[in-house]
Structure 1
Amino acid sequence: MSLTGTPFFLTSVTLLIVAFVLPFALWGRIAGPPLLRGLARLLMLLFAQVTAITVVFVMVNNANNLYDTWDDLLGTGSHVEAARDLGPDGMGGQQIRNEPKQLQRFRPADDPQVGPGVQMTDLRGRISGVAGEVYVWLPPQYNDPAYRNKKFPVVELLPGYPGSAKSWMGSLRVAEQLQPLMQRGQIRPVILVAPRTNLLPGADTGCVNLPGKVNADSWLTVDVRKMIIDNFRAGDKPDSWALAGYSAGAHCATKLALSHPDRYRAAVSLSGYNDPALERDSLAGKDPKLRIESNPMHILKSANAMGRPPRTALYVTGAAGDGYQAGLGLRQLARFPTTVDVQQISGAGGHTTAVWKQQVPQVFQWLGTQLRAEPQRPSAQHGS
């Protein structure tokens, strides 16, 4: 039975009801010696406690999309098939333009919580060696004849840790919120892409490439990106691509955008951080070299020192002590053409999906000022 969804939730609730009814029905009817009666009653109480905890966990998990599968929860599954050394550019000596198209079959999303119109595919990354699901939502204008010659901007959505690829679509209701705003012309249409980021059991990859372990950076910035361009009318220039993340995903979004200005124009950070060691399960945070190299402030300092500040726009929001100071540090380092817009959130309700859900409209209004649609070349052929 799936960890998420209605069947497991209803099963948990049913067991909880049974667990609470049993003591009332059987407490005084248990026969046998006192020790046996006491043990039976203790087991009934433990059963009630376990089922109550299970129901609470299922409700929290379904509301926040923390774990997708039993493997994710139990730390028994890996989505890494290979992790060779891909070098500083994350390409392993390959040229993306020379790679053949990776056409995929898409199906409706397997969880109704993500809302209508969301489709998914199982992608095997040719460069990264990562295999995982990718969710895609197309804006209402995508099939409008008036837009048939347009290639759409794309926003990659990254969850926190632990976190599910469905979290933005499910907990944050991003597509549900954006569809009417796009239909009314209040927000520019974009393709939303939510790839799996939970790749290794019990570890946050920090969205880095770590030879022998995982190539999470290349999975997100090369394989997923190319697959979307190959299958949809999606722009292939940096001005058409952005990342948005919350918590650990916010750190990833900022790091990846600053590291790859040739692939992304902008990034949104909601309650993020700069030092990867602030996430105790981060592989980057546990590696002294990677801890420095994957810190967005270090990336920005290094680019400035070389006289090549990235053409990257960052939008950083957070409360005091929860992302705001991280944004101020980046803004202080920003040199043209890097821009950092920092917004402080006061009394927003903590480090929760409810807080980030409220920010969705303003985030995508800002992204609309940064991203550009591209004309469709007559010779180009894309999928659905």
Structure 2
Amino acid sequence: MSLTGTPFLVTAIALLAGAVVLPLALWARVRGPAVARGLVRLLMLVFAQVTAITVVFVAVNNANGLYDSWEDLLGTTDRAGAAVDLGPDGTGGQKLAGRPREAARFGPVDDARMGPGVRVTELRGRISGVTGEVYVWLPPQYDDPAYRDKKFPVVQLLPGYPGSAKAWFGSLEVNRQLAPLMKQGKVKPFILVSPRTTLLGDGTDTGCANIPGKANADTWLSVDVRTMVSDTFRASDRAADWAVGGYSAGAHCAAKLAVAHPDRYRAGVSLSGFNDPSGEPAALTAATAELRRANNPYLMLKAANKAGKPPRTALFVSGAAGDGYEAGTALKGVAQAPTTVRVVRQAGPHGTSVWKQQVPEVFRWLSEQLGK
């Protein structure tokens, strides 16, 4: 039975109901020696506690998109591949220009919570070696004959840690929120792409970085997924038409990828993120001082400025005090043209209910940034 969705939740609720009724019906009827009676009653209480915890976990997991499957929860599948050293640009010297197009085969999703129009493929990253699912949603205008020659801008969406690639479509309802705004012309018709970011069998957060021998997560996101989308759909391959956004640990990734790759992304959106990778202690990038420095977008911006090469990228950073706001103000404090940073102070908890409310504002801002 699937970890997510209604069937498992209903089963867990039914077991909880039975676990509550069982001791009420049998407590006084238990027979035998005192030790045996005590053990039976203890088992009934433990069963009730376990089922109650299970119901809460399933409800929270379904609401926040933390784990997609039993494999993700138990950490039984490694998707990172050999993770060879791909060099500073993350391509391993492989030329992308002039190669044959490689369209991926997509099918419909089997999760009604993701709303209409979402499709999925299992992608084997040609350069990164990563294997994972990628979800794509096409805007209302995509099949309109008036747009048959149009190449669409793309926004790549990243979840937090732990996090499911389904969460932006499920918990945040990004497609259901944006479809009417796109039809009304209030938001550009973006292609939305959400790739898997949990890649390691032990469940460790990759920090969206390339770490030889561990995972080439940066290349998976910024090269392989990006190339596949441009090959498969009428999607622009210009950096000026691509953005990357995320929440929590995914927000850190989005800011870092946008700063690191202005040749691949024109904008980055960080919702309740952080700069120092130690903000996510489970991340591989928090393991050493060198990795922390190399994957801190604040320090990356400072280094680019010092080298006289501030990236041409626009950042949208939002968060509450102590939860992303300070990271945004720090980025804005060191930004030099053509880098721009918009900081929004957000009230509310660190959760999908807050990020969901920000979707329209974020995509109106992205509509102003892309295509230039």
* TM-score class normalised by the smaller sequence: over 0.9
Pair 1:151-2:138 in alignment: no
Shift of 1:102: 2.4
Aligned ranges 1:132-281 → 2 under 5 Å: 132-200=132-200, 201-281=202-282
CA shift digits 1:226-268 (9 cap, x unpaired): 0000000000000110001011000000000110000000001
Aligned mates of 2:314, 2:95 — CA distance in 1:
26
SS in 2 for 1:37: helix
SS in 2 for 1:128: coil
Aligned mates of 1:27, 1:99 — CA distance in 2:
72
SS in 1 for 2:84: coil
Structure 1 range deviating more: 99-108 or 357-366: 99-108
Aligned mates of 1:203, 1:81 — CA distance in 2:
15
Aligned mates of 1:45, 1:101 — CA distance in 2:
60
Shift of 1:98: 4.2
SS in 1 for 2:178: helix
Partners of 2:320 and 2:348 within 8 A in 1: no
Counterpart for residue 351 of structure 1: 350
Shift of 1:324: 0.7
Shift of 1:7: 1.1
Aligned mates of 1:359, 1:144 — CA distance in 2:
28
Pair 1:316-2:326 in alignment: no
Letter in structure 2 aligned against 1:162: P
SS in 1 for 2:168: helix
Counterpart for residue 363 of structure 1: 362
Aligned mates of 1:289, 1:218 — CA distance in 2:
20
Aligned ranges 1:290-309 → 2 under 5 Å: 290-309=291-310
Letter in structure 2 aligned against 1:316: V
CA shift digits 1:171-223 (9 cap, x unpaired): 10100100011111111110000000011122110000000100000000000
Letter in structure 1 aligned against 2:315: L
Shift of 1:297: 1.1
Pair 1:18-2:13 in alignment: no
Aligned mates of 2:101, 2:67 — CA distance in 1:
31
CA shift digits 1:108-167 (9 cap, x unpaired): 112111111100000000100100000000000000011111100000000110000011
Shift of 1:30: 1.5
Counterpart for residue 285 of structure 2: 284
Q: Report how many aligned residue pairs link the two structures.
A: 371
Shift of 1:362: 0.1
Letter in structure 2 aligned against 1:354: S
Aligned mates of 1:288, 1:233 — CA distance in 2:
42
Aligned mates of 1:225, 1:35 — CA distance in 2:
64
Aligned ranges 1:54-65 → 2 under 5 Å: 54-65=54-65
Letter in structure 2 aligned against 1:182: M
Aligned mates of 1:51, 1:163 — CA distance in 2:
23
Aligned mates of 2:80, 2:226 — CA distance in 1:
18
CA shift digits 1:77-103 (9 cap, x unpaired): 211122000000000011111443222
Where structure 2 has 5 or more consecutive residues not aligned to the other structure, the ranges are none
Pair 1:69-2:69 in alignment: yes
CA shift digits 1:310-347 (9 cap, x unpaired): 000001111111111111111111111000011111xx
SS in 1 for 2:105: coil
Letter in structure 1 aligned against 2:92: G
Aligned mates of 1:164, 1:99 — CA distance in 2:
32
Letter in structure 1 aligned against 2:367: G
Letter in structure 2 aligned against 1:342: V
Aligned mates of 1:217, 1:57 — CA distance in 2:
30
Aligned mates of 1:181, 1:103 — CA distance in 2:
29
Aligned mates of 1:34, 1:174 — CA distance in 2:
58
Aligned mates of 1:222, 1:179 — CA distance in 2:
27
Aligned mates of 2:186, 2:168 — CA distance in 1:
20
Shift of 1:31: 1.7
Aligned mates of 1:165, 1:110 — CA distance in 2:
14
SS in 1 for 2:310: coil
CA shift digits 1:257-306 (9 cap, x unpaired): 11000000000110110000110101001132111011001111111111
Letter in structure 2 aligned against 1:329: A
Aligned mates of 1:266, 1:287 — CA distance in 2:
28
CA shift digits 1:12-34 (9 cap, x unpaired): 01111111111112112222111
Aligned mates of 1:43, 1:136 — CA distance in 2:
46
Letter in structure 1 aligned against 2:72: D
Structure 1 range deviating more: 94-103 or 189-198: 94-103
Give me the identity figure in percent.
65
Structure 1 range deviating more: 17-26 or 357-366: 17-26
TM-score (ref. length: structure 2): 0.98
Letter in structure 2 aligned against 1:187: V
Counterpart for residue 107 of structure 2: 107
TM-score (ref. length: structure 1): 0.95
Aligned mates of 2:43, 2:107 — CA distance in 1:
45
SS in 1 for 2:323: coil
